[in-house]
């Protein structure tokens, strides 16, 4: 049976403050952060005791014991316990992917309402045992006799007892995202001064947004934090210029703690529904989710840089929707590193890159930077890996609501050489 697609409405969002890891949210789990965030969303929209058709949540730094994280979060909220939920993980694009999946279900008519979101914490890392120890413990557990068990216990070596900490490095290259971005900025000739200036502007925009009260109904207090703690409204390009390089310690290094996102803990969630659901329940529609796109590039064998995949995701999204890069009133581009964003902008302007990597006859062109991250970006607000996409959707949706009309583009780079993009409009 052919189904007419439903329009997908963004009804609103909530998040807890994004804070520097190992500070306010030390010993706080993803489940705790997401439960607090969802309960705030539930309270904001009067959803207590109500059944939502679907909840999709995700995180990157998770433990194997959190195998049913989304459902456990729902069970800890005041939603009707008949609300189903499922986990998603797409590195830093995780919660933008949850939004996309909920949107697809609403569009297809499978569901009428949904919540999408994500979180991450570096303060509650899933520290694991070495695989060698895990395998030996399994063998011990499967032993048939006490004697056999003792023999296998004696095979454990001191090296087996060394804990395995998760690292933010690419398994295929052994390099961190910062090291990969250092390679990118050198290839694209992005200077340290450009990166520091970009970071400075991000902080100034976020500081102004807070001063104007933009985040007052988006960010709820949690564990003593009332606003994003990474934001530095007193920073200057001169202060940023004095910081030491963080990934390339030579004189050629240009990425610092100031123009790179800090390790961050936090959570964000978005409430979504069909146009009819919004009408039936008296909810104002902030914006509409139009379309989403994920893409991946070869960053291992001489291809584009690790964090350049959004260039491809955006190109495919524009092509499918018959739009130009300039056909947007607002741009929410995730700032993993100032250099990463600057490389992306430069690549869209490059005829050679767009032809080789994107398969286009001409470059996508330049965007108006005054329309980009107008309420601050990840460099100022922070970047909990699994929460950033939902934060971008919530921010952009409110911007469109306040503007009364317009179209916005979201672009998020991720580990593994992937990128996720989306279009919202009002």
Among 343, 354, 392, 413, which one carries the catalytic annotation? 413
- Concerning whether 383 is annotated as a catalytic residue, the answer is yes
The angle, 0 to 180 degrees and rounded to 10, between the axes of the packed helices 388-403 and 94-108 is 60
Instruction: Encode the chain in three state secondary structure.
Output: CCCCCCCEEEEEEEECCCEECCCCCCCCCHHHHHHHHHHHHHHHCCCCCCCCCEEEEEECCCCHHHCCHHHHHHHCCCCCCCCCEEEECECECHHHHHHHHHHHHHHHCCCCEEEEEEEECCCCCCCECCHHHHHHHHHHHCCCCHHHHHHHHCCCCHHHHCCECCCCECCCCCCEHHHHHHHHHHHCCCCHHHHHHHHHHHHHHHHHHHHCCCCCCCECCECCECCCCCCCCCCCHHHHHCCCECCCCCCCCCCECCCECCEEEEEEEEEEEEHHHHHHHCCCCCEEEEEEEEEECCCCCCCCCHHHHHHHHHHHHHHHCCCCCCCCCEEEECCCEHHHHHHHHHHHHCHHHHHHCCCCCCCCCCCCHHHECCCCCHHHHCECCCCHHHHHHHHHHHHHHHHCCCEEEEEEEEHHHEEEEEEEEC
Which member of 92, 343, 354, 392 is catalytic?
92
pTM of the predicted model as reported, rounded to 2 decimal places: 0.95
Q: What is the pLDDT of residue 1?
A: 47
> Is the Cβ–Cβ distance between 50 and 82 less than 8 Å?
no
List the structure tokens of 375: 């309420």
The predicted structure's pLDDT at residue 104: 98
Q: What does the pLDDT read at residue 307?
A: 98
DSSP-based three-state secondary structure for 198: helix
- Picking from 328, 294, 327, the residue whose alpha carbon sits closest to that of residue 313 is 294
Among 180, 343, 383, 392, the active-site one is 383
Q: How many Cβ atoms from other residues are within 10 Å of residue 128's Cβ?
A: 14
Q: What does the pLDDT profile of the chain (426 residues) look like in tens digits? A: 456 789 999 999 999 999 999 999 999 999 999 999 999 999 999 999 999 999 999 999 998 889 999 999 999 999 999 999 999 999 999 999 999 999 999 999 999 999 999 999 999 888 888 999 999 999 999 999 999 999 999 999 999 889 888 777 899 999 999 999 999 999 999 999 999 999 999 999 999 999 999 999 999 999 999 999 999 999 999 999 999 999 999 999 999 999 999 999 999 999 999 999 999 999 999 999 999 999 999 999 877 899 999 999 999 999 999 999 999 999 999 999 999 999 999 999 999 999 999 999 999 999 999 999 999 999 999 999 999 999 999 999 999 999 999 999 999 999 999 999 999 999
């Amino acid at each position: 049976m052919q189904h007419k697609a439903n329009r997908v409405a963004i009804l609103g969002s909530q998040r807890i403050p994004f804070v520097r890891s190992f500070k306010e949210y030390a010993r706080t789990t993803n489940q705790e952060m997401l439960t607090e965030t969802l309960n705030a969303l539930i309270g904001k929209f009067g959803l207590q005791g109500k059944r939502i058709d679907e909840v999709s949540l995700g995180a990157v730094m998770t433990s194997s014991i959190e195998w049913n994280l989304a459902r456990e979060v729902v069970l800890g909220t005041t939603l009707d316990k008949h609300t189903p939920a499922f986990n998603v993980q797409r590195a830093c694009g995780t919660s933008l992917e949850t939004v996309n999946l909920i949107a697809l279900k609403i569009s297809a008519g499978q569901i009428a309402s949904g919540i999408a979101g994500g979180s991450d914490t570096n303060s509650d890392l899933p520290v694991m045992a070495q695989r060698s120890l895990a395998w030996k413990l399994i063998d011990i557990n499967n032993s048939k006799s006490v004697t056999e068990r003792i023999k296998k216990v004696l095979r454990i070596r001191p090296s087996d007892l060394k804990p395995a900490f998760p690292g933010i490095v690419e398994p295929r290259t052994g390099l961190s995202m910062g090291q990969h971005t250092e390679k990118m900025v050198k290839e694209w000739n992005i200077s340290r001064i450009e990166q520091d200036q970009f970071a400075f502007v991000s902080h100034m925009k976020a500081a102004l947004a807070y001063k104007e009260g933009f985040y007052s109904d988006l960010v709820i207090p949690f564990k003593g934090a009332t606003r994003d703690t990474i934001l530095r409204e007193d920073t200057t390009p001169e202060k940023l210029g004095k910081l030491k390089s963080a990934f390339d310690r030579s004189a050629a290094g240009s990425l610092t703690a100031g123009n790179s996102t800090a390790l961050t803990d936090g959570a964000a969630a978005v409430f979504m529904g069909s146009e009819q659901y919004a009408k039936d329940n008296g909810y104002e529609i902030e914006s509409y989710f139009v379309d989403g796109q994920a893409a991946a590039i070869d960053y291992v064998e001489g291809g584009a840089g690790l964090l350049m995949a959004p260039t491809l995701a955006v190109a495919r999204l524009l092509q499918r929707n018959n739009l130009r890069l300039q056909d947007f009133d607002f741009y929410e581009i995730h700032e993993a590193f100032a250099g990463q964003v600057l490389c992306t902008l430069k690549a869209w302007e490059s005829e050679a890159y767009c032809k080789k990597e994107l398969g286009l006859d001409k470059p996508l062109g330049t965007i108006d930077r005054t329309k980009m991250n107008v309420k601050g970006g990840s460099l100022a607000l922070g970047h909990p890996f699994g929460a950033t996409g939902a934060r971008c959707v919530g921010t952009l949706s409110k911007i469109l609501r306040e503007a009364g009309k317009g179209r916005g583009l979201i672009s998020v780079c991720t580990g593994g050489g992937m990128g996720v993009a989306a279009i919202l409009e009002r």
